Amino acid sequence: MLAELLYLFLAAIAFFVVISALVFFHELGHYSVARAFGMKVERFSIGFGKAIWQRRSKSSGTNWMISRIPLGGYVKFAGDAGAASNPDQAALEQIRADHGDVSDIFHFRPVWQRALVVLAGPIANFILAAILFAIAVMWVGTTHPEALIGEVEAESAAAQAGILPGDKIVAMDGRDISDWVDMARHIQLRGNTPIETVIERGGRLETIIVVPRMIEDKDFIGGRMTRGKFGVGLSPDAEMETRTYNPVTALMFGTQQVGNTISATGHYIGRIFNGKEDGKQLGSVGRIATMVGKSTVDVARTEIPVSDKVKAFTFRMLQLAAAISVALGFANLIPIPMLDGGHLMFYAYEAVAGKPLSQKKQELGFRVGMAVLLALFVVLTINDIGYFRSL
């Protein structure tokens, strides 16, 4: 019982450390670009609600805070109505009347500067993810087996398409497939979707169409997921390439991983709108907590030396934190008022129209955005509960 409580405590600590770090870097992106433009930032908060710790910077005047509810954070500029940075017209007019000089006020700055400040949050998450991916591969390297087919399951999608043992996958949907991992990643998000597949057989190239079957499977911590399946196994004769990385090549790899993750996320969301996915693989805080917590507990329970446990835990947290950081940056770019993407949508209108959207319309947009976010939160929470129950 004591051991189980200790595991749960470690899982909770790991979750809050990961979430707080990712939120901190996101908000630091907003803050850093705003300060670079000389804008006044009143508050930098990790979490919401009443502060449990705070300190005011003498140089910038920013009040740095850690708040009671540690599931998010925000940067508040002078003239903001709240944490979503929607403008408070009365406050802005009062600032203008009291000080006259509004050159350091976010809402009075050129639209391109405001857009860069808003965009800096998601970009910070992408940069952080690339660095975390890079650290992970510098540490352990990567292994790349060639996409050489061994076993072909009877009646599988591959068998019905005519794939044979000894065939080598060369390309899919016009994209070069260099190894087994690339092949599996491409198939996973294309269940019940025809894939134009180029194979090498007997020294000749042939093009065939394979339609992976959509199956229910378990992810790396044992939770429910759906994926496309070819029904093939890796050949024992496949060549294995082990790659090591220096800081430059590792950062290139990390950047590529960020791009791959963004592309896969966009592809999955597109399939939801096309009715090809049920959307249940999308989750929110509950799923993140489950993944971080289960990963922590699994490593802690493994019967290996403590030094190996620390290495395995650190590597898994690096990978998880990087993936979550990409998801956080991507989610914030969705064009819903209240999110960074919603602000960018308003700024795009302002840049094209030559004037900002009216205050009344912006307020309506924020209300609609809040309603959409609440509805989305309910749906994602239901997904999280289903995911947790599948473990």
Distance in angstroms (rounded) separating the CA atoms of residues 239 and 251: 25
Distance in angstroms (rounded) separating the CA atoms of residues 77 and 92: 11
Q: Which of 27, 42, 146, 241 is catalytic?
A: 27
Q: Is 27 a catalytic residue?
A: yes
- C-beta contacts of 331-338 below 8 A and 24+ residues apart: 332/26, 332/121, 332/122, 332/125, 333/122, 336/369, 336/372, 336/373, 337/86, 337/362, 337/365, 337/366, 337/368, 337/369, 337/370, 338/84, 338/366, 338/369, 338/370, 338/373
Distance in angstroms (rounded) separating the CA atoms of residues 70 and 196: 47
Which residues, in sequence order, are bridge partners of residue 201? 204
Given strand 175-176, what is the order of strands in its sheet?
A: 175-176, 168-172, 195-201, 204-210
Return the HEC string of 138-186: HHHCEEEECCEEEEECCCCHHHHHCCCCCCEEEEECCEECCCHHHHHHH
Distance in angstroms (rounded) separating the CA atoms of residues 23 and 19: 6
Other residues' Cβ atoms within 10 Å of the Cβ of residue 328:
23
Amino acid at position 135, single letter: I
CA gyration radius, the chain: 24
**Residue 150 in contact with residue 165, Cβ under 8 Å?**
yes
State the catalytic residues.
27
